[in-house]
Amino acid sequence: MAQRVQGTEDLYGSYMRAWQHMNDVAREVFGTYGFNMIETPAIEQVATFVHGIGESTDVVRKEMFRVFSGALVESLLAKGSESGLKPKQRLALRPEGTAGVVRAAVQNNFVPQGGAPVKLWYAGPMFRGERPQKGRLRQFHQVGVEWLGASDPAADAECIIMLMTFFERLGFNPESLRLVINSMGDAACRPAYREKVRSFILDHKDQMCDDCLERAELNPLRAFDCKNDHCREVMKDAPLAPNNLCEECASHYAQVKRYLDEAGVRYVEDPTLVRGLDYYTRTVFEVEVEGAGVGAIGGGGRYDGLMELEGGKPTPGLGFAVGFERIALALQAQGKELGGDDPSCVYVACTPDVRPSVFGAALALRKAGVRTETDSQGRSLKSQFKQADKLGARLCVVLGTDEVAAGMATLRDMATHEQVQVPLADLAQAVIERLA
């Protein structure tokens, strides 16, 4: 029997409904803020991610799912090396959504110089090439937004508030949500801060793990995320980003917080929050669910340099992404079901001799927008009722010899077992009235 690839999942039943529900809530909530949906390809040139996410990040160095066309693999194997790869042949399945959306914005000129900002949201699968582990799927699902062209600190606050509203609308207990924010500075002040952290790590290199020593050269701020207890202890005394902001960044951060305060949004400032990707500038944020034990369920921040890294003109931007699988787990931990039950239906049952009449009755109901089921296996009337029960039908339309001859149908309420006769010609109308 064929098996699905390790680290992937089939979405069906209540899990599929949960994913659809998350999309519906996203469309609704993000729509009220003026966001439109975009779908970029799942496959992009490696360069899109290298430029955007950063060469030194774990995502690009270790986790990216690279893909090669069959013919290319054949010819590379024949040559015995990958070195013949042209840049445009280096492809990867997207590890996250932002780089692709920004690439699309640059390529299609969504934000012409001096033009209005563009607000986009997306939903879809993302991929990871490393060996799958528990809770780290090879194909996982994210919903995210990108707001390109906005530099105003009010945009940061609106983005965060939109994210918190989204979580509440998904059913999270608002008290359980922990919003963490920080500012990481910009091109003016971050290089000096980064250098400070680098020398701090090197001054304490005897007490830190090999990974952190490697980070010191590539991406020193990642040392704040090290899981090693010694490193954590040492990093408690490291220089902090909010104390190293230039005047503009400090003022921007203060205004973001003022807007959040005005809106009554609870947040915690964590000066060590750096997020894993290189492209963030100024505001970064993450949301955790207390007691769920799944880590952050979403996060994001500002990335004022990203459009330029992807080959566009300097354009400010910000966004966030949330993880479907983690959110479903975290909601479960709060005793909530994201997917809900199968939608109810109407079942058209019949005695075998009037089977052809079911066809027309079901068509009429479906045309009127009613979710309708019928027997397609030649079952007895009794088994058709059982089937209707199993499908959670609220109403059963029963067609018998005498009824069809008289141009009538019997409507049976599956809960109360109450029955009424209605003219077949008015069937759809009668069913809709009873469902309402």
Positions that interact with Zn ion (CB under 5 A): 185-186, 188-189, 209, 212, 226, 228, 231, 246, 249
Nearer to Zn ion, 209 or 345 (CB): 209
Work out how close the CB of 304 gets to Zn ion at its nearest, in angstroms, rounded to a whole number.
10
- Longest pairwise C-alpha distance within the chain: 94
3-state helix, strand, coil in the chain (%, to 5): 45, 20, 35
Work out how close the CB of 26 gets to Zn ion at its nearest, in angstroms, rounded to a whole number.
32
Work out how close the CB of 52 gets to Zn ion at its nearest, in angstroms, rounded to a whole number.
21
Q: Taking the mean position of all CA atoms in its chain, how far away is CA 266? A: 23
Phi and psi of 211, rounded to 5°? -60, -45
Q: Roughly what angle, to the nearest 10 degrees, separates helices 427-435 and 355-367?
A: 60
Work out how close the CB of 119 gets to Zn ion at its nearest, in angstroms, rounded to a whole number.
25
Nearer to Zn ion, 205 or 258 (CB): 205
If DSSP codes are grouped into helix, strand and coil, which group holds residue 222? helix
Nearer to Zn ion, 161 or 246 (CB): 246
Nearer to Zn ion, 72 or 246 (CB): 246
Nearer to Zn ion, 225 or 325 (CB): 225
Nearer to Zn ion, 180 or 209 (CB): 209
**Hey, how many other C-beta atoms are within 10 angstroms of the C-beta on 130?**
14
Work out how close the CB of 259 gets to Zn ion at its nearest, in angstroms, rounded to a whole number.
19
Closest to 160 (Cα-Cα) out of 147, 173, 149: 147
Instruction: Tell me how far CA of residue 141 lies from CA of 18, 207, 293, 318, 323, in angstroms.
Output: 12, 38, 19, 20, 6
Work out how close the CB of 74 gets to Zn ion at its nearest, in angstroms, rounded to a whole number.
42
- Which residues contact residue 188 at a Cβ distance below 8 angstroms, ignoring those fewer than 6 apart? 246, 248, 249
